[in-house]
Chains A and B, each alone.
Chain A
Amino acid sequence: MSQSDIIETETATPKRPVRWHIAVFLAPAFVVYTAVMILPLIETLRLSLFNVVGGELAFVGLANFAQLFGDPRLAADFWNAFSNNTIFFLIHMAVQNPIGIALAAMLSLPGLRVAAFYRSAIFVPTLLSFVIVGFIWKLILSPIWGIAPNLMDLVGLKSFFGPWLGKPESALITVSLISVWQYVGIPMMLIYAALLNIPDEVLEAAEIDGITGWSQFWKIKLPLILPSIGIISVLTFVGNFNAFDLIYTVQGALGGPDGSTDILGTLLYRTFFGFQNQMGNPPMGATIATVMFLIILAGVSLYLFVIQRRIRRYQF
């Protein structure tokens, strides 16, 4: 006891108080996040290794995965959903992100009038509930009550109209484009912010060197916003492989017609919870969820460890 007293007086540096407030302030977010995200995730991963054997939940190892990829029907459903999901993602990458970048580039042009209005108007659909978006587009495209057939009639294109949401060959593209319409505001906003971050000196220097207009965009601005484009691609990838809501509201849980819009999210929903007369199968649902998790993990890792390291960053 006396020893320590001596040491304390000798060193004389005041003991740093335990900073409780950090833990206190972090606790609510940590507790909530753990309870609603981390625990369910771990529980899902765990459940995928179990199955009902003789009425009891028992550990079965990887048997669920073997069944998912080995059973011809389940595997066919899974690969169908996977390929639809990939197409869904590719359409977003090919349409949503270029349009988002183009819109941002136009909005950031100096001297564009009512830019603020366009910016808000294009971003508003993102804020709308997917239920509203799904319902509006279902109505617009309805061959019976919709305004799409009439509008196309006005410009003489009536013959090109079809019940797009009801045909296996066009349904997935239509739903993807609805989703693009809804979410195009997000890449636009992120790129817009990145473009505003480019210092004026850089652009002025470019202008002095005679690089203006399109070539300025390609040679100066685009390389500077590449990291943002990378982030957007990852966000799109994660969002698309987790997608469920819009397909569910527009096409129903079956992902019709004939499974042509069935993506991993709807397949998971049907398998986990059941649909109409099909009973829910939580272990198999958890297995699909785990596979989805792994797909997304693989995609994100590919970006983080391979692509992101190669993107050159510029410090201003």
Chain B
Amino acid sequence: MTRILKGMLFATTVLAPAGMAMAQETQLTIESWRNDDLPIWQEKIIPAFEAKHPDIKVTFAPMAPTEYNSAVNAKLEAGTAGDLITCRPFDLSLAMFEKGQLAPLNDLEGMENFSDVAKSAWTTDDGQTTFCVPVASVIHGFIYNKAAFEEVGVEVPKTEEEFFAVLEKIKEGGNYIPMAMGTKDQWEAATMGYYNIGPNYWKGEEGRKALIAGTQKLTDSQWVAPYATLAKWKDYLGDGFEAQTYPDSQNLFTLGRAAIYPAGSWEIAPFKSQADFEMGAFPPPVKAEGDKCYISDHNDIGIGLNADSDNKEAAKTFLSWVASPEFAELYANSAPGFFSLNSTPVKMEDELAQEFVSWRENCETTIRPSAAIVGRGDPNLDLEMWRTSANVINGTMTPEQAGEETQKGLDSWYKPKQ
């Protein structure tokens, strides 16, 4: 009996690691918040990499988006995080790098494939060190149901006035909910609402940089006006939008019950697989015909190297591959709506994705205003904007109050450099 027991102990403790070592495979784990992309990684991206590097096995381990930051931070601090960390843009990943949790990647082979703008989201404030390989950006706009637009007899709106006229007409038609969005999860209101239409008001980068420099305040008219527009959306959202969650909104649109969906381009792939009608997209409408248009083209995903990883060499091999044009093309086509940041132009098959990208030609691009520098403190500006945007749409807060509250929160910790 004891001999059997000893044998078992021996087998499980001594032999098992030896057996694993004999296989001579390096295991890499990628931490990510993109649980929607799990099949894409498992079926397309990882097999393509493993075909080239049979000695490295990669596991994609995603979790719920809202949990990701706290969970990955806890894992990094406890030393149990994966070898590769998917990087949120700007301040969040910067904090990880400053704590020494992410390794610098300046000398990584393939980094030369990215422009400074692409790298800006994962570079230190002094522009010296880059710590994540840029993977993709997302563009905001509106996705619409082409069949619904035809049925109601409306054209794609270019100006704000036309936009509300379209909404009004769809509402009169009665067959469709004009716009699918809810305020229960709060982030939709800010991300698909405020950050989506806002750049046209604060003139993209100009306003964002002025906010960081302190020459503009969130109480200025260009920052309050988008709230006022959002408040007008209220009448065109579905019944009970206050209790409508993000998946509810997605389903309302893909089931063909809503005509317009305020979107981020990351919706393209799931919408394509679920909706059986034709979809089109239009950028946020401008104030008056011929105005310069601004779009939110937000650096969204990068991949960095866990500074404590035991498999740094293998991880770097993987990151170099992520930096290659081959990955860029594979990723952009497997996950349409995530646009490659690689300098090499990528050919995309998906029409809706092409539509989104085509706006870059005429419109100025900017990133979300709460992402960089002003998003570092407590209270967190991004979360504040979630709350105020939702409140404004719910009608429990006026646009002016929203501006004041967010500015007050920002003032409590942020002092612009003079």
Contacts and interface: CB of A to CB of B under 8 A. Distances in A.
Interface of A: 73, 138, 141-145, 162-168, 252-254, 256-259, 273-281
Given A258-B387, A276-B383, A278-B380, A145 B248 contact: yes
B62 interface: no
23 contacts: A144-B248, A163-B242, A163-B243, A166-B243, A166-B244, A167-B243, A167-B394, A168-B396, A252-B186, A253-B66, A254-B383, A254-B387, A257-B394, A257-B396, A274-B69, A274-B70, A276-B380, A276-B382, A277-B88, A277-B91, A278-B382, A279-B69, A281-B378
A161 to B, nearest CB: 8
A64 to B, nearest CB: 14
A275 B66 contact: yes
Top 9 A-B pairs, shortest CB-CB distance: A143-B240, A166-B242, A166-B243, A163-B243, A163-B240, A273-B70, A278-B380, A274-B70, A277-B382
Q: Majority SS of interface residues in chain A?
A: loop
Contacts of B144: none
Q: Is the contact region of chain B dominated by helix, strand, or loop, or is it mixed?
A: helix
Interface range, B side: 35 or more
B391 A162 contact: no
A73 B379 contact: yes
B380 A258 contact: no
B390 A258 contact: yes
Given A144-B248, A258-B394, 17 more contacts: A143-B240, A144-B239, A163-B239, A163-B242, A166-B182, A166-B184, A167-B242, A252-B185, A254-B186, A256-B185, A256-B387, A257-B183, A257-B242, A275-B383, A277-B375, A278-B380, A281-B378
B235 to A, nearest CB: 15
A278 B376 CA distance: 8
Contacts, number: 115
Nearest to B388: A258
Interface in B87-121: 88, 91-92, 95
Contact of B184 (A253, A256, A275): A256
Contacts of A281: 378
Contacts of A253: 66
B243 A277 contact: no
B73 interface: yes
B241 interface: yes
Interface string B62-97: 000010011101100000000000001001100100
Contacts of A280: 70, 73-74
B263 interface: no
Contacts of A144: 238-240, 244, 248, 252
Interface string B236-273: 00111111110010001000000000000000000000
Contacts of B244: 142-144, 163, 166
A277 B383 contact: yes
A166 B240 contact: yes
Interface string B383-418: 100110011001011000000000001001000000
